[in-house]
Every structure is written in C-alpha cells, then in structure tokens.
Amino acid sequence: MVWTGLTALLSHWRRRPVQLAMLLLGLSLATALWSGVQAINGEARASYDRAAAILGQDRLAQLVREDGARMDQQEFVRLRRAGWLVSPVIEGEMRFGDVRLRVLGIDPLTLPPQAQQVDIAAGDQLLPFITAPGVLYAAPETAARLTEQATPPVRVAEGLPPGTVLTDIGQAQVLLRAKDKISRLLLWPDQPIGRAPLEVTAPGLTLREPSETGDLARLTDSFHLNLTAFGFLAFAVGLFIVHSAIGLAFEQRRQVFRTLRALGLPARVLVLLLIAELLTFALLAGLVGVALGYVVASALLPDVAATLRGLYGADVPGTLSIRPAVWAAGLAIAVIGTLVAAAQSLWRLWHLPLLAAAQPRAWARASERALRAQGVAAMVLLLTAAGIAHFGSGLEAGFALLAALLLGAALALPLVLTGILHLGGRLARGPLAEWFWADTRQQLPGLSLALMALLLALAANVGVSTMVSSFRLTFTGWLDQRLASELYVTARTEAEATAIRDWLAQRSEAVLPIWSIEGRVAGQPAAIYGVADHATYRDNWPILSAVPEVWDRIATGDGALINEQLARRQELGLGDQITLPGGWRASIVGVYADYGNPIGQVIIGIDTLVQHYPDVSRLRYAIRIAPGKAESLAAGLRTEFGLPAQNVIDQAGIKAFSLKVFERTFNVTAVLNVLTLGVAGLAMFASVMTLSGMRLPQLAPVWAMGLTRRHLAWLELSRGLLLAALTMLAAVPVGIALAFVLLAVVNVEAFGWRLPMHLFPGDWARLAALALLAAGLAAAVPAWRLARLSPSDLLKVFAHER
Amino acid sequence: MLLRLHQIDKFYPTGEGPLHVLNGIDLSLEAGKSLALTGESGSGKSTLLHLVAGLDSPDAGEIHLGGTNIVGLNDTALAALRRGTIGLVFQQFNLIPSLDVAANLAFQARLAGRPDPAWLKVLAKRLGLSQVLTRYPEQLSAGQQQRVAIGRTLAARPRLVLADEPTGNLDEATGDAVLDLMLSLVAETGAALLMVTHSNRLANRLNARVHLHAGRLV
Ligand SMILES: Nc1ncnc2c1ncn2[C@@H]1O[C@H](COP(=O)(O)OP(=O)(O)OP(=O)(O)O)[C@@H](O)[C@H]1O
Ligand SMILES: [Mg+2]
C-alpha cells in the first residue's frame, strides 16, 4: 500500500521534469548563496584564529614598551638576569622583491612551548635555523609566492598565517635592519618566585595580557555580519521559489491525494510519504547547493580577501579549503528551508476534505482575511523599526532595524497593491479595463509571495546601490582632501632621509614629514601622527568638527585631532582629554573623517611628537610641488638616491589604489545583489507558472464572449509588468530607508564612520528596467502558451468532466 | 436563413487514430426560431455547438451565419462574431469570477458596444437578480449563476443564442423555471436559439428538434 502510494506520488515528477528542475534549482540556489557566504566567513575566521594564535599570543602574556616602539635587546638580558623567564620576539614588515611580508623573529632556545608554532628542533634543523643565512618558515601559499624571490632558504610549515614568515631573531634583525632590537617579550606561564619586580628591572615596559580574540576578529565581525545578512536575504528570496514549486506540485496532485485517501491510505502516512519525498529533494539540492556555494565563494574570495586586507589589514588566503562544517550547515539549511517552504502545503493537505472541488476564488477570499492579519503584522513591524531607529543602539539593533523594516515592508506590499488596484479599477473605463484591474486584484494572493521576494530583492538593490554610490562620491571627494600632496617618499634609512630632505629643499615647495608611532589610545590600537604647521593641512584636511583656530592649537602642542572612528567608538568629543602612549595627555580639538581605516588615529603637532617620542622613525615625507613637475621630480628622486619604485608614489597612484580597494569591497555586495535579483526573478517565474495552471476557468468565459487568445495573452503579460512596476515603485522608498539605515546606523557601528546620503534616480531607472525585463520574461512563457493554446483545451473548462 | 451548416466534418486526434465525431452535418435555423439538439453522451453535441460559435473550426464544410461563411475566418474576426452576433450559455463556469453580478451582467453588452442600462434593469428584475447585484459569482447558488449567465447573454441582444445544457447542473424544478425564463426572454428579443439537451421533455418545448447519432443528424 505504502509502496503503491509512493510510486503514484513520484510518477508526478516524471511527467513534469521542468517543475522538478524548478524546485531543485530554487533550493540549490538558495543553499548556494547561503553556504557560499558561510564558506567565505569560515575561511576568514579560521585565518584570524591562526593569526591570533601565532606564537601563543592567545595564551601568553607579553611585555611591551608603552609607546609601542621596539626595545633594546639589553632589556631582555637584564630581565633574564633578574630571574624573569622571557623570550624575545621581533616583528616587522618587509619586502622580498614585490612580495610584502610580515617577518617574525624568534629565539628557539628560550621560546615557551605554548609558542612553538613550528618544530624547529626536529632532526638537525636547529643549526641551519640559527646560523646565517637562516631559514624562513612559511605557509605553503606564502612559500609558493616566494619561489621567484631572492630569500634565505624557505621551508613549508602548515599552520602559519598567510603572508607571514618565521625565522630566527638574529636573522630577522638583519632582514628588518633593526640590529639589537626587540618588539616584545613573551612571558613563560610559570615565573620563578622572588624575581625582581618589573618596575625596577624594566621601568619602560608594561604587561599585556593574552587577548582571547584577536583585534582582527573583533574588527572584522561587522563585515562578516554584513555578508551573513546578505546571504540570509538571498536564501529567504530563494525559498519563495521552493514554496511556489511545492505549492504547485501539491495543487496538481490533489486528485492523486484524494484518490489515495479514498483508497484507505491514512492521512498521516500520506504526509509522512510527502515529507520523505521532500527531504530527499532537500538533501539532493543541498549537496548541489553547497558545491555551487563553493564556486560562488571561490569566485568572490579574492575580492573579499582584498577588501579585508585593505580595510582591516587582515591577511586571508585567496583560496578556499573545504570545511565539513560548511557542508553540514548547508545541508541542514536546505532541509530546514524546504520544510519551512512546504509547511503551508503540508498543513493544507492534512486538512484536505475528501470531496469538494478546488475553488480558486474561495481560496482567494480566505486569503483576504489573511491579508488583513498581514497588514496588522506589517504595521507592528514598521512601528518596531521606527522604535529601534529612535531608541536602539549597537550593530545588533541596526540589523534588527533592517530586518523589521524589510519584513514589515514586504508584508505591507499586498495591502498597498490591493489599494492601488482598487483605485485603478475605480478609474478604469470600459468593460475590459475594469475586468483587467479586478482580475489582477484577484491574482494578487497567489502572486504576493513572489512579489514580496521581488520587493526585498529590489529594495536591497536600491539600498545597497545608494549606499555604494554615496560612498563613492564621498570617498573620492575625501581622497582629494586627504591626499593633497603631490608626492609621497619613503627613505630607507635616517641618513638617506636627511639627504632627501636637503635635496628637496631647493626643488619643491614644501617637504612635510609623515612620522608616526603606534600604540594604544583609550584601550584601542591607534597610530599617532605628527604634522607640520602648513597650509596643506589648514586648507584641505577633512575636518568634521573642530574648535576655532584648531591648527594653531595643534601647532602650539596642546591639542590633538582624532579620527571619527576613535571618536565614535570611545564616545570622545571636543574638549575631552585622551591619554597617549607614554602617559601624557592632550585635549581633543577636532575630529576628522578617516574612511577605510580600521584603527584609531591621533594627530598632534610634529614638534610635540618628536618631543614625546624621540625615537620615532623619520622616513616618510609628503612633497608639495606644482602638479606638472611632480613626475619629473619623482624620477629625479629615484635616480638620485637609487630608491625603489614603490618608495616614491604619486598622489594619483595612491588614489587609484584606494579606489580599487573600495571597488573590490563593493564588488562582493554587487555580485550578491545581482544573484538575489536573479533568484527573485525565478521566484516570480515559478509563481506565474503555478497560477497559469489555475487560470483557465477565469479566462475561458472572457474568450468565449469574444476576445482572441492573443489579446488575452497580451493582457496576461501586461498584468505581470504592471505588478512588477508597482512593486518597483514600492521598492524605491523602502530601498532609501534601507540605505539610510546602512549609512547612518550599520556603517557607523561596523566601521566607525558615517556618510552623507546621495540619491541617484538614474540607477533606479536602470533597476526598474531590469525588473520589468525579469517580470516580462517570467510572464511571457505562460502568456505565450496561452496564445498558442488549442481551443479544445479552453473548451474543456465548460465540459462537464471538470 | 440565419444559420446554415453544410456538410460539416470534424475529427479529433486520439491515441487510436482520428475520431470522426461529426460526419457530413447539414442543418439550418431561421431567425426567431428555436431548435433543440439531442443525442447520447459523447455523440458530438457540444462539438457542433462550438463550431457554430466559432470557438473551434471544422475539418470540412461550411457554416453560414447571417450570410457569411465563418469557416476559415481568422481569430480576430471570429472573436468579433462572438462579441457581436452570438450569445453563449454553458452548463457551468460561464461567469467571470473577479467581477460582481452587476458587472457580469453588463459585461458582454458593453464588450459588444451595446450597453442598455434600462434593458439590463428589466432583465435583472425578470431574472430575480435585483437583490444580488453586488455579490460575486461564488456567492450565488447554481440556479442563480445560470440566470446571471442567461441575463448576460440576452443583455447584448445577440441574433443567435447558443446554449449547451444550460440547466444540466440544476435540479428539475429550478431547471424548468430557468428554462421558462430563457425561452420567453429569447422570444421577446427575437433571437434564434440552438440548445443542446439530454432531455426529451425539455427538447419538446422548443419549435423543433434534431437528434445526433454516430456523427449524423437523424
Ligand atoms: N479535445 C478533444 N480531443 C479528443 N476527443 C474529444 C475532444 N473533445 C471531445 N472529444 C470526444 O469527442 C466526442 C464528442 O464529444 P462532445 O463533448 O461533443 O460530446 P457531447 O455530445 O457533448 O457529450 P455530453 O452529452 O457528454 O456532453 C466524445 O467522444 C469525446 O470524447
Ligand atoms: Mg456536451
């Protein structure tokens, strides 16, 4: 009996392969977008963890200088003598040819076991490691990039973060040109009792506790949350397709269900059989979806990696590893999604009356009641959104606001459309026009899910493109202000720097130092820059708010400018005092825009910087010169001092680079956006196909009364276009609201800066054209079939056998 | 002569080869007269009616309606014919579900470009529909639905009314009442009526009757 039932149920799909394909396609696409995003996030998180765990930083305390600069090796010797169990580490960035790497130098003899990343002592590898030219350990990917470069011998070691090489401290000091310098000291977990206190032995050093999660993981959290939100949106839109396909399959098998029930198959068994069928599909589509997700992820990962490097300085490998967790999560979400999408159909089946024929209009009237309930829910959600916007704070609130706004708008859509269609019917003249509006209104319940999906996709598109375009506009303007100098030069040594300065004195209008130290300000990693008192800054710096005569206050040394992200994260404002590395205090005299910078930044007068941090490295300079002469001066600098090309950069070069980073950032969102829109188009198609099967009884009387099939088909097509156009109209305000939330709430929480919003109606027109095209294509297939339908098929409507 | 059929043949393709449903049918009907078409189930009554209505086309033969041969006319011309000259009443699914009774009643007359509110009012009253004008089709009983269908057809004042078992879905008493109304209203408008029915009793109430058997009229 069960077996017979199953074969009867499954035979449906053999006769309708397109429908089966639709169901599987929708489910795989939804799963693909979701698990693609998850795969990207997983890859990035794994690499943050690797970075955070390097040399046991997540478990070992360290000693560092308060100002963040390197200490002398003498400190290490002194502490060891005083009984401290410490191990020196030097860290720095350098180039091998055109490969830029982080070099970590360690002392294998004193390294705590917790920090042993690579088994250096294995075999006879220790001696080559500590004697010149040393050995570089690198992750396979990094090692591969180094094959072309002249370096010490490279060995492959799994587990190192990408872009990092590990070597002996002596070799690292040579490579980094930092003789007898140490970046920090690792503390063994168990220290001998009775050792001299730190203040006595090494007064300049402070203890830093192990950080549970790296700064990177914290900084990038918001970025990944953004991606996740997008993945989820795409998934939800994909479920609309699955819902339509399942609904159609159930509707068409109603007769089979009824027969099986009448033959004595219990409702429970029937439902279980159908669930088993759906689960099989879900697992199949889930497998395909996760595989597709990997394709999406590996296509996007290079851009994501570039973004993370540009925005946060985080190194994420450009290739994807296969993670079992992603597979499991992908399959789970496919199954859950299928069950959610099928819930309504299964519920109806459970309550299927054994007799009673299908009644489309009665069904439509039942959903009129649902429409009212939906309207109430929409109102509640939109009010909630307004409430969160007014009272909420934090990134979670931002996302809750987005969710409430989008869901509320989607639920309100059928109500709004019903209203507009009523109005259209009221204004219509002539029997056909009146019928057109009334009939469109009647189609609404069956189409509303697909239209809601379309609304979400369109609103997301309008919102994100508004955000991106606003960003681009603001960012380009900001770059012009921020990069006011024509050339930027980096000397290799202090002596060379002095020579360059002298050489430039006669040849340029001004040479402005760009000297900085790194340290922690208000508990956050930050850079402190010194600036000269010069018109370049007075005229151009992108100040957001400042006290009067701000540059005079900076020049005299009693004020500091901070960037917007530091101000927002630490709730600092004009007049507040901050403590800078080394313990001195300055008062905030201004806040400036600093887009794209993950860490805090403080600007003080150049003299003040040198006075507090005499060891600051004095290698970088900005050069002012008539723009026409910049190129020849750059060439002169390179030949005169033999500087490598990348040490002399012109303004245009940096701008191009910065813009590229941002383009790549938004590339990811743009791709997800287009995919979501595509999925919404498919949802629309699936729904229209579903409905077209039930349309004939509604169309046949009109045909019999004297309309051609062609005419009816045109009307069907126009109906699809009309609904898409109305949905697009509704999507614009929703999208603008979305953009506002993204710019004014989510970005502020995620990145620490706020952007002004600019509107680009041209983009909307393009999107509207795209939406109409998608809807037109979706409606064209059933319309075309209607135009070609044989009269006898239409006549069957009136025959008694129905 | 309003309607004249000449040597009509109609085949349906089936799994076991073409099915010869109508085989050389000749038939004529004068304006203002009514004709009943009977025959057992599957004999081709509906098929014949559909051909006359221009809803389907014959494989051979001529159908002259008001002097023109409608066989071979294109879709647009046939649609215009259905709008302007013919009124159709089927056994079920006659009404447009998204329009209320008033709109359904007026629909065909407006489509034909002959709206006549006064006549509509008379029809609604005679058909006993005045109280249900704002309801939707699925809120009506089967008898009421058929009365709306008849009213809608007659509102357009067609020259030929084609009815396919218009009371087949109704119980006998209701069916008789509906049929009485239809016959008297058709007579008042001066239209010709071709009605398919199973029932000898109903067939006998029309001016004439023909019987379809094995593809031929007897
Ligand atoms: N589209 C079609 N394709 C194939 N065969 C058809 C088609 N429509 C009708 N038939 C067949 O043609 C024959 C005549 O059908 P028709 O509907 O005209 O009969 P009918 O006399 O109206 O029967 P009933 O009294 O049951 O309504 C039947 O055998 C039917 O099965
Ligand atoms: Mg019939």
Q: Which pLDDT score, from 0 to 100, does residue A665 have?
A: 67
For helices B101-111 and B142-155, the axis angle rounded to 10 degrees is: 30
Could you tell me the CA-to-CA distances from B197 to B154, B189, B205, B209 in Å, in that order?
Answer: 19, 22, 11, 10
Q: Are A377 and A411 in contact (CB under 8 A)?
A: yes
Q: Which pLDDT score, from 0 to 100, does residue A367 have?
A: 62
Q: pLDDT at residue A802 above 50?
A: no
Q: What is the DSSP letter of B7?
A: E
Neighboring chain B residues of A442 at a CB cutoff of 8 Å: 97-98
Q: Which pLDDT score, from 0 to 100, does residue A286 have?
A: 93
Alpha carbon distance A455, A284 (integer Å): 29
Q: Supply the range of the domain harboring residue B101.
A: 33-46+74-209
Neighboring chain B residues of A716 at a CB cutoff of 8 Å: none
Q: Which pLDDT score, from 0 to 100, does residue A732 have?
A: 94
Closest residue by Cα to residue B192 from B59, B37, B69: B37
**Averaged over A496-516, what is the pLDDT?**
90
Cβ <8 Å between A435 and B106:
no
> Which residue's CA is minimally distant from atom 16 of ligand 1?
B44
**Averaged over A668-678, what is the pLDDT?**
76
Please give the residue of chain B at the shortest CA–CA distance from A701: B94
DSSP β-ladder status, A205-208 and A600-605: unpaired
Phi, psi of A584 (to 5 degrees): -85, 160
Structure tokens at A71: 């200490």
Neighboring chain A residues of B94 at a CB cutoff of 8 Å: 701, 798
Sheet containing B17-29: give its strands across: B17-29, B3-14, B60-65, B68-69
A217: left (phi over 0), alpha (psi -120 to 50) or beta: alpha
Pocket of ligand 1 from Cβ distances under 6 Å: A 792, 799-800; B 12, 14, 19, 21, 39, 41-47
Q: pLDDT at residue A214 above 60?
A: no
Q: pLDDT band for B44, please (50, 70, 90 cuts).
A: very high
DSSP H or E segment with residue B3? strand B3-14
Structure-model confidence comparison of residues B208 and A742, the more confident one: B208
Give the three-class secondary structure for A773: helix
**Which residues lie across from A588 on neighbouring strands?**
A560
Q: Which pLDDT score, from 0 to 100, does residue A359 have?
A: 52
Structure-model confidence comparison of residues A745 and B23, the more confident one: B23
Residue B170 lies in a domain: yes
Cβ <8 Å between A431 and B106:
yes
Give the nearest partner residue to B75 out of A359, A361, A709, using CB atoms.
A709
Angle (nearest 5°) at CA B86 between B83 and B87: 95
Q: Which pLDDT score, from 0 to 100, does residue A684 have?
A: 78
Angle (nearest 5°) at CA A78 between A77 and A84: 90
How far is the centre of ligand 1, averaged over its atoms, from the C-alpha of B55 (Å)? 14
Give the total number of structural domains in chain B.
1
Alpha carbon distance A594, A544 (integer Å): 10
Q: Which pLDDT score, from 0 to 100, does residue A795 have?
A: 86
ipTM more than 0.95?
no
Neighboring chain A residues of B80 at a CB cutoff of 8 Å: 706
Q: pLDDT at residue A58 above 80?
A: no
Residue B149 lies in a domain: yes
Q: pLDDT at residue A602 above 80?
A: yes
Alpha carbon distance A41, A221 (integer Å): 10
Please give the residue of chain A at the shortest CA–CA distance from B90: A798
Neighboring chain B residues of A432 at a CB cutoff of 8 Å: 111
* A259-A260-A262-A263 Cα dihedral, nearest 10 degrees: 120
Q: Which pLDDT score, from 0 to 100, does residue A365 have?
A: 56
Neighboring chain B residues of A438 at a CB cutoff of 8 Å: 98-99, 103
Cβ <8 Å between A798 and B91:
yes
Structure tokens at B52: 């006359």
**Averaged over A149-162, what is the pLDDT?**
80
Q: Which pLDDT score, from 0 to 100, does residue A383 have?
A: 94
List residues, by chain if needed, whose CB lies under 5 Å from ion ligand 2. Answer: B 46
Q: Which pLDDT score, from 0 to 100, does residue A376 have?
A: 92
Q: Are B49 and B164 in contact (CB under 8 A)?
A: yes
Residue B214 lies in a domain: no
**Averaged over A457-477, what is the pLDDT?**
83
Residue B136 lies in a domain: yes
Atom nearest to B49 CA in ligand 1: 18
Residue B126 lies in a domain: yes
Give the nearest partner residue to B138 out of A362, A441, A795, using CB atoms.
A362
Structure-model confidence comparison of residues A596 and A102, the more confident one: A102
Which residue is listed with tokens 């002539």?
Answer: A430
Q: Which pLDDT score, from 0 to 100, does residue A419 have?
A: 92
How far is the centre of ligand 1, averaged over its atoms, from the C-alpha of A638 (Å)? 94
Alpha carbon distance B75, B86 (integer Å): 15
Please give the residue of chain B at the shortest CA–CA distance from A792: B56
Phi, psi of A394 (to 5 degrees): 100, 160
Could you tell me the CA-to-CA distances from A563 to A480, A521, A571, A617, A666 in Å, in that order?
Answer: 17, 12, 12, 22, 23
Q: pLDDT at residue A130 above 90?
A: no
Residue B54 lies in a domain: no
Alpha carbon distance A382, A361 (integer Å): 30
Closest residue by Cα to residue A786 from A687, A710, A720: A710
Alpha carbon distance A77, B46 (integer Å): 109
Pocket probe for ligand 1: among B23, B45, B90, the residue whose CB has the most ligand atoms within 8 Å is B45
Chain A residues bordering chain B (beta-carbon distance below 8 Å): 359-362, 365, 430-432, 434-435, 438-439, 441-442, 697-698, 700-702, 704-711, 791-792, 794-795, 797-800, 802
> Which residue's CA is minimally distant from atom 10 of ligand 1?
B12
Structure-model confidence comparison of residues A236 and A173, the more confident one: A173
Which residue is listed with tokens 């994100």?
Answer: A464
Residue B180 lies in a domain: yes
**Averaged over A124-138, what is the pLDDT?**
81
Q: pLDDT at residue B65 above 50?
A: yes
Please give the residue of chain A at the shortest CA–CA distance from B55: A791
Q: Where are the alpha helices (DSSP H) in A705-800?
A: 709-741, 747-751, 761-787, 791-795
Structure-model confidence comparison of residues A264 and B79, the more confident one: B79
In sequence order, the 6+-apart residues with CB closer than 8 A to the CB of A47 are A161, A162, A314, A315, A316, A317
Q: Are B85 and B66 in contact (CB under 8 A)?
A: yes
Closest residue by Cα to residue A334 from A270, A249, A238: A238
DSSP per-residue codes, B157-212: --SEEEEESTTTTS-HHHHHHHHHHHHHHHHHHT-EEEEE-S-HHHHTTSSEEEEE
Q: Which pLDDT score, from 0 to 100, does residue A353 have?
A: 64
Pocket probe for ligand 1: among B19, B55, B92, B211, the residue whose CB has the most ligand atoms within 8 Å is B19
How far is the centre of ligand 2, averaged over its atoms, from the C-alpha of B111 (Å)? 27
Cβ <8 Å between A704 and B80:
no
* A207-A209-A214-A220 Cα dihedral, nearest 10 degrees: -80
Q: Which pLDDT score, from 0 to 100, does residue A278 have?
A: 92
Structure-model confidence comparison of residues A724 and A801, the more confident one: A724
In sequence order, the 6+-apart residues with CB closer than 8 A to the CB of A340 are A239
Angle (nearest 5°) at CA B166 between B180 and B182: 25
The whole-angstrom distance between A240's CA and the closest CA on chain B is 26
Q: Are A726 and A443 in contact (CB under 8 A)?
A: no
Q: Are A676 and A233 in contact (CB under 8 A)?
A: yes
AA identity, residue A203: P
Give the nearest partner residue to A706 out of B80, B165, B168, using CB atoms.
B80
Could you tell me the CA-to-CA distances from A521 to A53, A185, A567 in Å, in that order?
Answer: 24, 21, 11
Which residue is listed with tokens 């992820």?
Answer: A297
Closest residue by Cα to residue B31 from B80, B65, B78: B65
Q: pLDDT at residue A212 above 60?
A: no
Cβ <8 Å between B97 and A702:
no
Alpha carbon distance A454, A456 (integer Å): 5
Q: What pTM, to 2 d.p., does this model score? A: 0.75
Structure tokens at A156: 């492959």
Specify the CATH number for the domain of residue B96.
3.40.50.300
Please give the residue of chain A at the shortest CA–CA distance from B53: A704
- Rg (C-alpha) for chain B, rounded Å, is 17
In sequence order, the 6+-apart residues with CB closer than 8 A to the CB of A383 are none
Give the nearest partner residue to B75 out of A432, A710, A795, using CB atoms.
A710
* A240-A793-A353-A367 Cα dihedral, nearest 10 degrees: 40
Closest residue by Cα to residue A318 from A334, A329, A307, A333: A307
Q: Using one digit for the tens of pLDDT, what is the confidence trace for A417-433? A: 999 999 999 999 889 99
Alpha carbon distance A494, A393 (integer Å): 47
Angle (nearest 5°) at CA B100 between B94 and B105: 60
Q: Which pLDDT score, from 0 to 100, does residue A313 have?
A: 65
Q: Using one digit for the tens of pLDDT, what is the confidence trace for A608-644? A: 999 988 888 888 899 999 888 888 888 888 888 888 7
Cβ <8 Å between A800 and B136:
no
Atom nearest to B45 CA in ligand 1: 21
Chain A interface, mutation test: which of B96, B104, B110, B198, most A Cβ atoms within 10 Å?
A: B96
The whole-angstrom distance between A365's CA and the closest CA on chain B is 10
